[in-house]
Structure formats: C-alpha cells, structure tokens
Chain A
Amino acid sequence: MDAVRDSTSAHLAGYESFARQLGNQPEHVVNLRKSGLDRFCDLGFPTTRQEAWRKTNVRRIAQGTFDRTTGVEGVDRARVEPFAVPGCTELVLVGGRRAEALERSAATLPEGAVVSSLAEAIESHPEVIEAHLGRYAPIDEHPFAALNQAWLEDGAFVYIPRGVVVEAPIHVMLIGHQPGEAPSVCYPRNLIVAEENSQVTVIETYAGHTGQHYFTCPVTEIAAAQNAIVDHYKLQEESTDAFHMAMQKSHQARSSYVFSHSLSHGGALVRNDIRAMLAGEGIECTLNGLYLGRGTQHVDHHMFVDHAFPNCHSYELYKGVLEEHARAVFNGTIHVHQDAQKTDAKQSNRNLLLSKNAMVSSNPQLIIFADDVRCTHGSTTGHLEDEAIFYLRSRGISEEAAKSLLTYAFAAEVLQEIRLDAIRTGFEEFLFTRLPKGDVVRQAV
C-alpha cells in the first residue's frame, strides 16, 4: 500500500506550487483540476487486478520518475518537420507547450474559427471552456485521465463556430521531448468544439524521436453539435522508448458525424481509450484504427461506444499487425440503452501475428438493452496464409515480398477508409518503408 501511495505522490511532485500559480484562473478550471487531483489520489495507479487493466501493466510508469516539461528549449523545426502533413493549419506543442515559432501553416482559418493553445483559450474564450472543458472525458474510472485533469494547464484548442466549414485540415502536432537527463512527462489537454452545422478535420500527431524517454498522458475531448461533421485522425508515432496513456472522448449531438481514425505504431507502452457518446438521434460514428507493434511494444485499445438514442449508426474496424515479441490488447464495448431502438452497430477487430512470440488479447462485447437493433461484433487473430504465400511465390515473387504484400493488403483495408488523401498516402508510404520488401509492395498494390 505504501508503495502505491509513494508512486502516486511521486507523480504529484511540485503540485502545490503548480496549482497555486494557476489559482486565479476561472473557477470552472480550478475546480476541474481539483476534481482530477482528488480522483487520482483516490484511484491511484491501476493494477492488473483491475479488469480494465488486466492485460496492461503500468508499473513502469507508476514506479518511474518523470520531470514535468515546462518549455520548448532545444527543439527546432527540423525535429518537427518529419511529422508534418502537407496542406494543413498547424498547431505545434512541444512537451505540451505551444511552440508558435515552429508552426508552418498552408492556409488561413475562416472568420471565427480558432486554433490556439488551451492556455490561451482559457483567457480568450472562457465561455466555450466553461461550456465544454471537462464535460465529457470520464475521469471517475480512469486514473490517467484523472491525472491529466489534475495537471490540466495546456494543450490544443480548436473551436469552429456555427455553420463554419474549415477546408484545410488542422494539424495538432504534439512533440514528445526529453530536455534533460531524466525522463519527462507532459499532460496535454485538448478540446475540439464543432458547433452546429460546422465541419472540420483535425489531426493529432503524437511524435518523438527514438532514444527520447518520456511519458505523454493526453486527454482529448471532442464535442460535435447538431449536424456537425468532424473527421479526426490520431497518429501515434511516439519514440519507441516513450509511454503513451491517452483518453479520447467524443460527444455527439443529433445528426452529427464523427469519423475517428487512430493509426498507432510508436511507444513502448501505449494505451488508447477511445470513447464515443451518441447523445441524439440520427448520429453516425466511425471508429477505425490500425496498430502496428514490433520488438517488445505493448499497445492497448479500449473502445466504448454508448448508444443512448434511437436511429444511430456506429462502425468500428480495428486491425493490428504484431511482430517479434509485441503484445496487443483490444477491448471493445458497444452499449445500447433501452431507448436506443433501431441502433445499427458493427464492431470488428482483426489481428495478424507475424511471429510466434507476438500475442493479442481481443475482447469485443455487446451490452444491449433495446430489442429492435442490429448489432454485430467479431474478432479474429491469425497468421499469414501459407496458401496465399505459396501462390504469390509460384508466380515469381520472393517469399519475403509475398509476406510484405499480404501484410500490406491486410492493413490497407483500414487505410482505404481514410478520406484525407495526405494521411492515407502518407501512411501507405510509411508502410512501404517499414515492410521488408516495401519496394515490391509499392509496385504491386
């Protein structure tokens, strides 16, 4: 028990002066921090005895010591550039702090739309903050979301007013950064608000360079008002020495559309909690994802789709490719409330194991209280088919190229659904460089 208390308090070092210094912020924000702190102190770090964390051991985080990053020193554009996506409006945060000088934007925002740091928004848009911040992300059961909220200070803020269509994607780049000898930590808090009948595409990239040791603990809240359309991409390309424990929660109002895509291949220990609340009729919600793991990477996705109203559709397709000793966890729940008649919900998780040491634990489930619904779920885990490999080889394709080609084809199903060309082609290109015979694959797809 003492060890637990010690690890909890180690992650709260310097908290008093941090909170005091921000004490004159709006009451809502101060209270959020307080509730986050209280909750985290109650919960402590999760253990594998808890069902939701049974397959994901966070001891390396709980028992680690991390310096909170406070600045962007020592990072230049060259560190950011490899992760840039052409044609976007950029918001760059290094170690959780905005680094405006490193931003390059290809487009100007329409009147009224705001892309800024959360710290700026707390001052400039207190009414939006009050209405949305902390209203969606569940911290009660989630220690890392609570910890993020305790340290709530900065992050990304995207606000699209009523009826506004933002054409150029907004690219929030969160660059992990270890300024000193010790591993570092940051707690980005992101808020995306799309008012009625607005439309926006937001990319969140979490990236860092190999050899950098740090812990990113972000929370993203997405509020899509009536008729709003939000395309959201999360690219997790952290340093393979980094930890990433993230919560993403979207809250959708009547007839809104949210398309969420998560592409994850970085990090040593990664957990993505992705939750969607369908809080109105006629909602469409897509949650797609692709995770790649190799070495000893551990990647965990916890999905929760909450159907609270009738006539909504949700589609989930998550695929994983695991090599070497990589481990993946997939836990997906679709919850259909009693009133949510005519719900159409699909969930599928497919995993490809490329080595006998790779492992997946997949657990999709349905909790249904309505009687007139169409819900399906499924999960498969398998290896590449010998038949297919042999067929390709019998035409002159090398064994390695055949395997790469089939692996690519497996992953491509998720990529095909991506509507933003730059993201899709960017990730295809990434796969061509990652796969052993990517040059043959590039030719053959």
Chain B
Amino acid sequence: MLKIENLHVEVEDKAILKGIDLEVKPGEVHAIMGPNGSGKSTLAQVLAGREDYEITKGSVAFGGEDLLDMAPEERAREGLFLAFQYPVEIPGVSNTYFLKAALNAVRKHRGEDEIDAVDFLKLAREKMKLVEMDEKLLGRPVNDGFSGGEKKRNEIFHMAVLDPKVAVLDETDSGLDIDALRIVSDGVNAMRNENRSFVVITHYQRLLDYIVPDVVHVLLDGRIVQTGGKELATELEEKGYSWLENDVAAAATA
C-alpha cells in the first residue's frame, strides 16, 4: 500500500531524515515512536506533500504509484490522509462547507457524483458520532477557537468523512484526556479494515493500548533504529530511548 525506500530529507541544508525504509501493507497498523525532534512529523508532512522539505534521495510508492510526484491534493484524492499534529486554524472558512468541497473533490477524482447538501449533512452527522464531536463545531470556521482536544477530534472526523486508504495520524493523542483518547481510538478502530492502513505517530504506549498496532518502529535522529511487535512500545515506555541512543552511537562510531 505504502512503500518508503531509503528516504532522505533535508530542510535548509540540514539532514532530518537519513534513510527511512518502511512498508505498510493493506490493513496494517504501524506505530512510529521516537523522541522530540527525531523527524516523525517531517516524515508525516513529506508523505502528505509539504513543499518546504527537500527530498534528496529515495522513493515512496503509494498503491504502486510514485507518491512524491503528486501534488498534495492529488495524494489526498488518491486516498492519503494526514491528521496534523498541529491542525491549522482557518478563520472565515466553514468546517462543514470546506469538508463538503473536499469530499466532492475526492469523489470527482474517483469518478463519483458530487454529494448534495442533504446527503452530506447526513454523512457528517453519522461520522461526528464516531468521535462524539459536538455538532456545533460543524458550523464554526475550521479549527477556529477549538480546544486542543476538539482539534484532534476534528481531524479524525475529517478522516472519517474522506474515507482514505492510508491515514497518517501525527500525535493525535496529545491534548486528549483519557476519556477522549478512548473515544477517538474507538473511532479509529471502527475504521480499521483489511483495505485501510494506518501509520500512528505517538510518544506514548497508552494510545497503542487502544489502537493496537501490528508493527512498532522507533525513529531516532532520522533513522528507524528498531522495529518490533506491540511489546516494543511497552519496552520503550519502561526504558525510554536512551538504551537505543547508545546503540546508535555505538553503531555510528563502529
């Protein structure tokens, strides 16, 4: 579904990602953990098509196509979704109508008819229930004045409406209390199926207790230094990253 090979990324001549290899098969959930500044969001943003980053080496295939060759909107229409670590506030643009326009862009790309206002509202209401989002947030401008938790729910709500093939969730758990975490996780779990894949970025094992991953990767200083099953998350929670950092340092000097 998503195949990242030897991906190198720089920003302002500074190497951030230093050779990432990652393959996500249909239906799989991959977790990426790693300390602050290790490059998790950079990877997520590069996948979504953010242009501030320079890709110096490597490739990404998405459903067999060259992902890096597509504009951000094409990626979204092809079924890639990024839930932002910091969702952007857009005053003056209505959350509902904007999402309807986005959905119609996706549908048009798939060769489907545009959805009308009534059907869209029905769909939106149904998907809001999934994350128990307050209906009044529908009428407000995108993320404008939303609390941290509301923004994260709104991201998952957008995802549910747009129905992607691969969803990258960048620290969707930060800013959520334990109840909200459970609700949002249930929402994500309800969307899991054999065709849809997830890449879940987080610092904490707790999220992974709810969204149980098939594979866990550790990203350190722009490299995946460890890959394992869900028990790796528990190990990281207990030991932190320092034991891996030592490994990396040892590897680098060896």
- On A, residues with C-beta under 8 Å from B are 385-388, 390-399, 401, 405-406, 408-410, 412-413, 440, 443-445
Contact = CB atoms under 8 A, between A and B. Distances in A.
Interface stretch (B7-15, B46-54, B132-140, B179-187): B46-54
B71 A396 contact: no
A444 B100 contact: yes
B100 A396 contact: no
Contacts of A386: 52
Nearest to A390: B50
Which of B52, B91, B100, B101 is the most central at the interface, judged by chain A CB atoms within 10 Å of its CB? B101
B77 interface: yes
B105 A394 contact: no
Given A399-B73, A444-B100, A394 B87 contact: no
A444 B93 contact: yes
Contact of A406 (B75, B90, B103): B90
Nearest to A441: B101
B49 A445 contact: no
Nearest to B86: A387
B222 interface: no
B86 to A, nearest CB: 9
B76 interface: yes
Given A392-B90, A395-B102, 5 more contacts: A388-B90, A394-B72, A395-B162, A397-B101, A412-B92
Contacts of A443: 97, 100-101, 104
B82 A393 contact: no
A445 B102 contact: no
B72 A390 contact: yes
Contact of A444 (B94, B106, B109): B94
B158 interface: yes
22 contacts: A388-B90, A390-B49, A394-B72, A394-B75, A394-B81, A395-B76, A395-B99, A396-B76, A396-B77, A396-B106, A396-B109, A397-B98, A397-B102, A397-B105, A399-B73, A410-B92, A413-B92, A440-B101, A443-B104, A444-B101, A445-B92, A445-B94
Interface string B125-136: 000000000000
A388 B52 contact: no
Contacts of A391: 84, 87-88, 90, 142
Interface in B46-77: 48-52, 71-73, 75-77
Contacts of A399: 71-73
Nearest to A410: B92
A405 B71 contact: no
A394 B105 CA distance: 12
Contacts of A408: 92
Contacts of A440: 101, 105
Nearest to B114: A443
Interface string B146-181: 000000000000100010000000000000000000
A445 B52 CA distance: 28
A404 to B, nearest CB: 11
B92 A394 contact: no
A406 B76 contact: no
Contacts of B106: 396
B93 A406 contact: yes
A390 B84 CA distance: 11
A-B pairs, top 6 by smallest CB distance, nearest first, are A409-B92, A396-B76, A444-B101, A393-B72, A391-B88, A395-B102
Contacts of A390: 48-51, 72, 88
Nearest to B91: A409
A13 B90 CA distance: 55
Contacts of A401: 101, 105
A440 B94 CA distance: 13
Contacts of A405: 93, 98, 101
Contacts of A406: 90, 93
A399 B77 CA distance: 13
A386 B101 CA distance: 20
A445 B73 contact: no
Which of B75, B84, B90, B94 is the most central at the interface, judged by chain A CB atoms within 10 Å of its CB? B90
A413 B90 CA distance: 13
A386 B77 CA distance: 20
B88 A388 contact: yes
B158 A395 contact: yes
Which of B71, B76, B162 is the most central at the interface, judged by chain A CB atoms within 10 Å of its CB? B76
Contacts of B94: 444-445
B107 to A, nearest CB: 9
B98 A392 contact: yes
Contacts of B77: 396
A394 B101 contact: no
B97 A444 contact: yes
Contacts of B90: 388, 391-392, 406, 409
A192 B225 CA distance: 77
Contacts of A444: 93-94, 97-98, 100-101
B105 A398 contact: yes
A386 B52 CA distance: 9
Contacts of B98: 392, 395, 397, 405, 444
A416 to B, nearest CB: 9
Contacts of A409: 90-93, 141
Nearest to B109: A396
Nearest to B96: A444
B92 A387 contact: no
